[in-house]
Chain A
Amino acid sequence: MEPVILSCAELSTREINAALAALPDGASARVLEPRGRHNLAVGLSNRVRIDIEGNAGYFIGGLGDGPDVVVHGFTGWSVGENLQAGSVRVEGNASECAGASSRGGTIVIEGDASSRAGISLKGGTILVGGNVGHMSGFMAQAGVMLIGGDAGDALGDSLYEAVIYVAGTIASLGSDARIEELTESDVRAVKALAELGGASFGHVQPENVTRVASARGLYNFDALKDQKY
């Protein structure tokens, strides 16, 4: 089946999203000339493939529950926010808060992600081929991140049960985050994640990544223990 062609030069965001939501499972669409348009392909629950042919704005693929979205360009803030199922792949760089609060599915940033990537993560998988900015993985509750490049300051601050793998360097860890020993199952997991990420994760050596997880020191209040918030 030929992909449906939708152009941002001619259609409103509402018209594009309505057309995408109407696609039957298995169909595909190409969104042309996005020119930084926000909220493309949000809140979709159908199993479709959507190619966004250029740079796009905020919340691309947000609240998704099934579709596979590929951005052939860069994205603004919070790509794939609250993703539940399906995937969002960004071939370029992503701005802040990539994959914020995502609960399932996979978000792949082939380039760099900015600060707060994976903030509030609730079960999703976030793969970044390049670097991430400061406060990435902030308050991440569940799910996994693989960072192919370097991580900025305060990585994994106030982590709960999410796990972050970093192939490059870590500028600093956030409160209550700690580096843990890499087990064989971690190595297997990283290998699988790198394969899922594709070519831009070819440099990742699963046995050499750093595992960051919660020290669980802030799970319960204890003011007399000098907790660092």
Chain B
Amino acid sequence: MDQPQPMNLPMDAHRRSGAFPPEVIAQIQRTATEGHYEIRGWGAKRDLPTFDDLLFLTASLTRYPLEGYREKCDTSTVLGTRYASKPLQLAIPVTIAGMSFGALSATAKVALGRAASAVGTSTTTGDGGMIAEERAASRLLVYQCLPSRYGFNVDDLRQADAIEIVIGQGAKPGGGGLLLGQKVTDRVAGMRTLPAGVDQRSASRHPDWVGPDDLRIKIEELREATRWEKPVYVKFGATRVVNDVKLAVEAGADVVVVDGMQGGTAATQDFFIEHTGIPTLAAVRLAAEALRDIGMEDTVQLIASGGIRTGADVAKALALGADAVSVGVAPLIALGCNSPTYWQDGSDHDASDGYQALGTEAGYCHHCHTGRCPVGVTTQDAGLEARLDADRGARQVTNYLKAMAMETAALARACGKSDVHNLEPNDLVALTVEAAAMAQVPLAGTEWIPGRQDKI
């Protein structure tokens, strides 16, 4: 075969445009052909200030560390102590975020539930209701009350362990959910009271209330319907965090969940994912400060989410004031998301054809919206779903969650803390001016916190 001749291009021929780099050119070309925005899964892909921009000042002479492998460091976490008669008692400060049956396969939901139960934490339902398999697999299950109210019913409400009223999510604060027709199978459609195969577009506001004054009444209704037993969480995408946290607390929330812009989704418009909300790093600090402002930091618990991957992320979120974190994309990766292979009938199989058919490859796939997940996690296709082994998946997620909790505790011990919740902003410095400003911790090597007049 003839090889293409190497072109004799001048050295500056591949001058990349800042405004119109190749990926932007491709995006404009695609939009011009299809006439609409790109819909995709996952969260923001752009570079943002993150927890990676923070470092721990672990113990030395001024503070002594705890023995890493010997001295106890408590990771147990209680959520919902304000009004609920049955708060959630978690063994670790990491919970599984809301992801719907519909977006995820039933096997994925079951694997996550088993893993969470094995490590003593909770999972969360999602838009579309509760499936019996998940209820059976998850010892602690948080039931979401979403604008769509798909599959929402009082029976499942009663068999939940906590209730999460979803105002919005980090991937698309202000936008409703999407589930494209290829994933709206008969079972998914039946649960959502929709015709099978429709491109399902969820509402972005609740159908029966608007605003903080109404939310207070809504929370009371849900508590009345469940005898004031269950913690009520209020979740929103991080935008006007300080006011939102204060209003949610005023409305009676037991737990506030703040989802930063890195928070994932199974299908959302790309312009929402990349251009709305604020980074998780800034959101955690603002939310914690809002709770302190109104003296509720010991009464209302704060869950931070959006792009959390490691025990170091967890420890930093806790140090900035979160009581727990939620993870969504990360445990899906532990299940097999973006793996080049899948495990079926006792051996590994190559999944690259599946990725190629979606126009992507392992490591870059964000094609949850297509329902053609090559590793069986975000699909409703029986053949693809069979590529996910529930036992193996549960084991992998269990390993991952355990490792995260161990990392968190190890960092806390190194900071001299016998409880991961004793980590504090004082234990942190920032690598960049941006992170220093957002987290309100000093730039490493200085006493400077951008925006503050006083020295620390």
Q: Which residues of A does B touch, CB under 8 Å?
A: 13-14, 17-18, 38-39, 42-43, 45, 57-59, 62-65, 77-78, 81-82, 84, 97, 100-101, 103, 116, 119-120, 122-123, 138-139, 141-142, 160-161, 219-221, 223-224
Whether A100 contacts B208 by the Cβ 8 Å rule is yes
B293 adjacent to chain A (CB < 8 Å): no
CB proximity of A226 to chain B, nearest CB, Å: 9
Bound complex: CA of A103 vs CA of B155, how far in Å?
13
Q: Number of B interface residues at 8 Å Cβ cutoff, please give it.
A: 33
B149 adjacent to chain A (CB < 8 Å): yes
Q: Which of A64, A120, A223 contacts B36 (CB 8 A)?
A: A223
Whether B220 contacts A82 by the Cβ 8 Å rule is no
Whether A59 contacts B193 by the Cβ 8 Å rule is no
Bound complex: CA of A65 vs CA of B149, how far in Å?
16
Whether B194 contacts A141 by the Cβ 8 Å rule is yes
Whether B208 contacts A220 by the Cβ 8 Å rule is no
Whether B152 contacts A101 by the Cβ 8 Å rule is yes
Bound complex: CA of A17 vs CA of B221, how far in Å?
10
Please name 17 further chain A to chain B contacts, defined as beta carbons within 8 Å, in addition to the given A65-B154, A160-B193, sorted by A numbering.
A39-B217, A39-B221, A58-B209, A58-B217, A59-B218, A62-B221, A63-B157, A78-B207, A84-B154, A100-B208, A101-B208, A103-B153, A120-B207, A219-B195, A220-B197, A220-B199, A223-B36
CB proximity of A17 to chain B, nearest CB, Å: 5
B454 adjacent to chain A (CB < 8 Å): no
Bound complex: CA of A42 vs CA of B224, how far in Å?
7
B186 adjacent to chain A (CB < 8 Å): no
- Contacts A43-B224, A141-B194; is A84 near B35 (CB within 8 Å)? no
Could you tell me the dominant secondary structure of chain A's interface residues? loop
Bound complex: CA of A123 vs CA of B150, how far in Å?
12
Whether A120 contacts B209 by the Cβ 8 Å rule is no
B34 adjacent to chain A (CB < 8 Å): yes
B226 adjacent to chain A (CB < 8 Å): yes
Closest to A118 in B: B207
Bound complex: CA of A47 vs CA of B194, how far in Å?
29
Q: Which A residues lie within 8 Å of B87 (CB)?
A: none
B148 adjacent to chain A (CB < 8 Å): yes
- Contacts A63-B154, A65-B154; is A97 near B199 (CB within 8 Å)? no
Q: Which residues of B does A touch, CB under 8 Å?
A: 34-36, 148-149, 152-155, 157, 180-181, 192-195, 197-199, 203, 207-209, 214, 217-218, 220-221, 224-228
Whether A78 contacts B153 by the Cβ 8 Å rule is no
Q: Which A residues lie within 8 Å of B155 (CB)?
A: 65
Bound complex: CA of A139 vs CA of B209, how far in Å?
16
Whether B199 contacts A78 by the Cβ 8 Å rule is no
CB proximity of B45 to chain A, nearest CB, Å: 23
CB proximity of B369 to chain A, nearest CB, Å: 11
Q: Which B residues lie within 8 Å of A223 (CB)?
A: 34-36
CB proximity of A205 to chain B, nearest CB, Å: 31
Q: Which A residues lie within 8 Å of B225 (CB)?
A: 42-43, 62-63
Whether B221 contacts A120 by the Cβ 8 Å rule is no
Whether B153 contacts A84 by the Cβ 8 Å rule is yes
Q: Which B residues lie within 8 Å of A13 (CB)?
A: 220, 224
Whether B207 contacts A101 by the Cβ 8 Å rule is yes
21 contacts between A and B (CB under 8 A): A14-B228, A38-B221, A39-B217, A42-B221, A43-B154, A43-B221, A43-B224, A43-B226, A59-B208, A59-B218, A63-B154, A77-B214, A101-B149, A116-B207, A139-B203, A141-B192, A141-B194, A161-B195, A219-B195, A220-B199, A221-B36
Bound complex: CA of A58 vs CA of B226, how far in Å?
17
Listed residue (A63, A77, A103, A220) with the most chain B CB atoms within 10 angstroms of its CB: A63
Bound complex: CA of A148 vs CA of B35, how far in Å?
42
